[in-house]
């Protein structure tokens, strides 16, 4: 940590004129200009990370983790900086760094991070399932799903654990409106809030919906970023290299598929109980 602080202290703060010059050089692909822009604003990252370090206990994160997250936000802000608007960059960069740090703290407090190799296998499972649906016009049954899992080296218990983790993360007040969870959006409109036990049952239903809905990989990514990470549509579009309209369509399609599966499950339970 001391070496890092010593290194960033070598980079002087930028004047408004220097910011504009570096931003214009970045527009024509000057990587050194971008690197200088980043290094000269790392002090702001450290300042904000220290400010929120009191929230670290219980998250499993360190101050250096917060600095890394804040640096990602800094890089995003620098890439979005428009020198022609005449504003000093620090105001906008502060917001992007703040967003990155607080989101990291929020996510660590509510989710379990998946090991990289497990996440990669999960992504391969999504792609394999999507290819199966495209080839057969339907989702794989239990036996076919088991064969796909064996093929990619992912155990059923591991898949269920991943989906359960994602279900817990999707059951938070996120999305662009910040007041509705995905679990609530898929819930039976005739049911009330329910007891804790009933809420657990609903989370299990969400696991089943995520498993059985015919979501493409992009639809799943959009749904996860919107409701799992609370990302806005413009941020999702930037991360996935899509237009805002494409994100809107993918999100709408994914929700329609999930609602259909949720409704189908409710009808099945009602029929079994009759």
Q: What is the pLDDT of residue 30?
A: 92
The DSSP code sequence of 35-101 is: HHHHHTTHHHHHHHHHHTGGG-TTTT--HHHHHHHHHHHHHHHHHH--GGG---HHHHHHHHHHHHH
pLDDT for 228-271, tens place per residue? Answer: 556 678 888 877 778 999 999 998 888 888 777 776 665 665 55
CATH code of the domain containing 20? 1.20.120.1810
Mean pLDDT for the stretch of residues 14-24? 91
Lowest mean pLDDT among 53-62, 66-75, 154-163, 197-206: 197-206
CATH code of the domain containing 127? 1.20.140
User: Which has the higher per-residue pLDDT, 222 or 71?
Assistant: 71
Instruction: Examine the domain organization and report whether 122 and 189 are in the same domain.
Output: yes
Question: What burial class does residue 205 get, using C-beta atoms within 10 Å of its C-beta: 0-12 exposed, 13-18 middle, 19+ buried?
Answer: buried
Q: What is the pLDDT of residue 194?
A: 40
Q: What is the pLDDT of residue 245?
A: 92
Is pLDDT above 80 for 83? yes
pLDDT for 157-212, tens place per residue? Answer: 666 655 555 544 444 434 444 444 454 545 544 443 343 334 444 445 555 666 66
What phi and psi values does residue 171 have, to the nearest 5 degrees? -90, 55
Q: Give the count of domains, the chain.
A: 2
User: Which of these three, 79, 110, 141, is where a domain ends?
Assistant: 110
Tell me how far apart the alpha carbons of residues 233 and 201 are, in angstroms, rounded to a whole number. 30
Q: What is the mean pLDDT of the chain?
A: 73
- This prediction has a pTM of 0.42
Instruction: Examine the domain organization and report whether 228 and 93 are in the same domain.
Output: no
Instruction: Examine the domain organization and report whether 6 and 101 are in the same domain.
Output: yes
Instruction: Examine the domain organization and report whether 120 and 254 are in the same domain.
Output: yes
Q: In which domain, by residue range, is 203 found?
A: 116-273
Tell me how far apart the alpha carbons of residues 78 and 93 are, in angstroms, rounded to a whole number. 7
Residue 213 has, within 13 A of its CA and on its CB side, a CA count of 25
Is pLDDT above 80 for 52? yes
Neighbours of 33 (CB within 10 A): 18
3-state SS, residue 94: helix
What percent of the chain lies above the pLDDT cut of 90? 12
């Amino acid at each position: 940590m001391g070496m890092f602080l010593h290194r960033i202290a070598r980079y002087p703060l930028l004047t408004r004129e220097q910011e504009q010059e570096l931003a214009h050089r970045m527009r024509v692909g000057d990587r050194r200009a971008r690197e200088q822009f980043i290094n000269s604003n790392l002090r702001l990252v450290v300042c904000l990370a220290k400010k929120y370090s009191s929230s670290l206990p219980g998250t499993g994160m360190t101050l250096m983790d917060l600095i890394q997250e804040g640096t990602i936000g800094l890089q995003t802000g620098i890439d979005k900086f428009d020198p022609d608007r005449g504003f000093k960059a620090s105001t906008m960069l502060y917001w992007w760094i703040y967003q990155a740090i607080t989101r990291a703290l929020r996510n660590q407090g509510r989710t379990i991070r998946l090991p990289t190799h497990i996440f990669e296998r999960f992504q391969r499972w999504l792609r394999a399932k999507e290819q199966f649906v495209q080839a057969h016009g339907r989702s794989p049954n239990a036996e076919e799903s088991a064969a796909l899992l064996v093929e990619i080296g992912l155990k059923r218990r591991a898949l269920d654990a991943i989906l359960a983790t994602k279900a817990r993360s999707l059951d938070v007040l996120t999305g662009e409106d910040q007041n509705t969870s995905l679990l609530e959006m898929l819930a039976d409109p005739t049911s009330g809030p329910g007891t804790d036990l009933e809420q657990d049952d609903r989370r299990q239903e969400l696991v089943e919906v995520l498993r059985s809905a015919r979501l493409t990989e992009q639809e799943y990514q959009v749904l996860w970023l919107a409701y799992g990470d609370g990302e806005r549509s413009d941020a999702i579009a930037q991360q996935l290299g899509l237009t805002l309209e494409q994100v809107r369509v993918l999100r709408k399609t994914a929700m329609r598929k999930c609602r259909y599966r949720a409704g189908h499950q409710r009808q099945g339970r009602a029929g079994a109980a009759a």
